[in-house]
Amino acid sequence: MRFGDCSAGRSLPPPEQGVTASLAAAKPGAMFPLPPPMRAALAAAQAAADRGEVPVGAAVVLNGEVIATAANAPRALHDPTAHAEMLAIRAAAQRLGRDRLEDCDLWVTLEPCAMCAGAIAHARIARLYYGASDPKGGAVEHGPRLFGQSTCHHRPEVYPGIGEAEAAALLRDFFRHRR
C-alpha cells in the first residue's frame, strides 16, 4: 500500500513531498478521508478489538509505503510489551534488516505510552502521527512527555489528532462492552 494512493477524495502526498505541511494546516477532524497509514492502523485496532485486545493499531511507513502494521496483542502473546507500536517497530526493523528507522514514520491510533515512546526514540522514527490522546497512560503530550526530557536523545516530529474521532470511538466502544 503506497501512501498517497487514495482513490476517493483528497489524497495527501507522501512525507517527503509535504505531508507535514498539509497536516499542520488541517483542522483536527476536518481531514477526510483519513490517510492510508492511519486507515491501516485503525483496521489493525479493530482486529485487536475483535480478538478481545485493547484496540490500538500501528503502521510504519517508509517512502510512502506501509511496510509494517500491528495490533495490540499482550493477552494473545502473553507479553506485556506486545503493544501495537512495539510490534510494528520490530516488524519494520526485521523487514529492513536494521535497528534504526530514521527514514520511517509511525502512525498509531493512541498516544504512545512511556515504553513505546522510548522505543520510538531508540528506533529514531522520523515522524509520529497519532489519533486519540491518552491523558492516563500517554507519554508524549501527557505524563512524562518523554520527547521533551533532556535525557531523550531523539525527538521525532509529532502530529497528534489524526483520526482522533475514529480511534476514540473504537476505544469507547471496546470498554463500554467490557463493563
Phi, psi of 21 (to 5 degrees): -65, -40
Assess whether 102 carries a catalytic annotation: no
- Closest of 138, 129, 84, 86 to residue 107, by C-alpha: 129
Residue 93: is it exposed, middle or buried by C-beta count within 10 angstroms (0-12/13-18/19+)? middle
What are the residues whose beta carbons fall under 8 Å from the beta carbon of 164, sequence distance 6 or more? Answer: 28, 29, 131, 132, 133
Q: Among 53, 85, 111, 166, which one carries the catalytic annotation?
A: 85
Query: Helix, strand, or coil here: 135?
Result: coil
Q: Rounded to whole angstroms, how far apart are CA atoms 10 and 117?
A: 30
Please say whether the dihedral angle defined by the alpha carbons of residues 94, 70, 125 and 6, taken in this order, is positive or negative.
Answer: positive
Q: Rounded to whole angstroms, how far apart are CA atoms 13 and 64?
A: 8
Catalytic residues: 85
